[in-house]
Amino acid sequence: MLQIYNTLTKQKAPFMPLVEGRINMYVCGITVYDYCHIGHARVMVCFDVITRYLRSRGWDVNYIRNITDVDDKIIKRASENSESVEQLTERMIDAMHEDEDALSVLRPSQEPKATAHIDEIIALISTLVEKDFAYPASNGDVYYRVEKFAEYGKLTNQNVEELRSGSRVEIDEAKESPLDFVLWKAVKPGEVSWESPWGAGRPGWHIECSAMSKCCLGDTFDIHGGGPDLPFPHHENEIAQSEAANGCTYANYWMHAGPVRVNSEKMSKSLGNFFTIRDVLEKYNPEVVRFFLARVHYRSYIDYSEDSLKEARVMLERFYQALNGVAACEFSSEDAISAGINDFEQRFIDAMDDDFNTPKAISILFEMVNELNKYKKASNASAAAVAHKIAELGGVLGILQQSPDAFLKGDDKEGELSAEGIEVLIQQRVTAKANKNYAESDRIRDELASQGVILKDSREGTTWFREG
């Protein structure tokens, strides 16, 4: 049975859906004011793997991931760029989709935008005001009364008394309590705004997700996910808003991806260790980046470093080298059984059913690689059966979907020896060996090796791949 670690209960538990066979999942998306960074990629890949696996097991997954397209940072950046909020956000949404496509991240079932749900946001705030969980303030904003919601802090074990004592009251603050947070912001000169019962303004960040999840999934849904920085205050505030307004549980399971650190330090622009997805993809094959992100358990932190990415490349090379040269022949269920595929597959499923344990699942794929290398020497049918299953299970993780030749040889990059040039040198080496000019043959091999091109000789001829 599928077990999921629930951030709310702090333990793993069997997953019990609201509707048999169907999973409604909401994941907090990106505030689209800049290019996505490697931390965003972590969350994208984590929940993409989760969705792929659940669908592979027959679940009907309705995966919603929102887009925040109105926000203080967006307004500030649009002003700095001398462009409209809409121009900036549409450009950044396109860039986000390009990054996702490069990393083989499937699009969510729906991608609601905050600006397309203003009516629903206003309606939700109105309900909270009517129930006395929110109040219009003298500055034109509308705030949520945190202390009226008795269970505030239950997701992160925060105590309201401790939060109050640790907070600072700002001068001229219009809030009743320093803990109260904004639901509706009064318009400032030059800002984008919408009309509301409390005057022109725009939504606060937290209320957007409560409104969009309610619109797409209803008052209660199965799984709510997000990044490591969201449990407090964003997800605490979502719970407070939604459960006060709707009078029922907001989400039954909470899942959070772990953080990305850079050489063991927190990633931050101020430290100069901040990398956009585009920065990383300029240097590394997208599948290497995806594998690097997927091979660590989704709740654990990832240490981003050159060495970690090189290690991921080497591991993927091992997969593709094993798959390379396997004849595409017919195989029977008996071939699969004799190769032990059913056992491998069940162990893979057991690993993923245990809170999506990708490290264990990948270790099982490596065991299958060892078997494949044995069968490549003895049985074409068994080798084909194992190779097929490795690629199939790899697809559940969003990897191993390229042809081995394409991955191992890669695309020609600026400053690298072209594939055509490599083939010319290999042919020159073949000629040198035929003429028993072994010194020249070794020289060519060494020249190619110095440029990261590794040769592999066999009775069928010479193949090559790029190292790293």
Output the known binding site. 28, 209, 234, 238, 269
Element (H, E) at 375: helix 358-375
What is the rounded distance in angstroms from the CA atom of residue 46 to the CA atom of residue 112? 20
Edge-to-edge order in the sheet of strand 265-266: 265-266, 260-262, 302-304
163: number of Cβ within 10 Å:
19
Q: For residue 196, which amino acid is it?
A: S
Instruction: Pull the structure tokens for residue 133.
Output: 């969980």
Q: Which residues of 115-154 are buried (b: 16+ CB within 10 A; e: fewer)?
A: bebbebbbebbbbbbeeebbbbbeebbbbbbbebbeebbe
Which of 156, 154, 216 shows the shortest CA–CA distance to 25?
216
Supply φ then ψ for residue 185, to 5 degrees. -105, 125
What is the rounded distance in angstroms from the CA atom of residue 243 to the CA atom of residue 252? 12
Q: For residue 109, which amino acid is it?
A: S
Question: Who contacts 401 (Cβ-Cβ below 8 Å, separation ≥6)?
Answer: 104, 391, 394, 395
Which of 198, 227, 185, 195 shows the shortest CA–CA distance to 72?
185
What is the rounded distance in angstroms from the CA atom of residue 169 to the CA atom of residue 110? 40
Supply φ then ψ for residue 92, to 5 degrees. -75, -30
Place of tokens 């390009």: 98
Instruction: Pull the structure tokens for residue 424.
Output: 């010319």
Alpha carbons within 13 A on the beta-carbon side of 395: 12
What is the rounded distance in angstroms from the CA atom of residue 220 to the CA atom of residue 228? 22
Strand partners, 254: 224
Residues marked as binding for Zn(2+)?
28, 209, 234, 238
Residues marked as binding for ATP?
269
DSSP 113-181: BGGGGHHHHHHHHHHHHHTTSEEE-TTS-EEE-GGGSTTTTTTTT--HHHHHHH--PPTT---SSTT-E
What is the rounded distance in angstroms from the CA atom of residue 393 to the CA atom of residue 278? 28
Contact (Cβ atoms closer than 8 angstroms) between residue 313 and residue 292: no
Three-state DSSP class for residue 210: helix
Contact (Cβ atoms closer than 8 angstroms) between residue 356 and residue 431: no
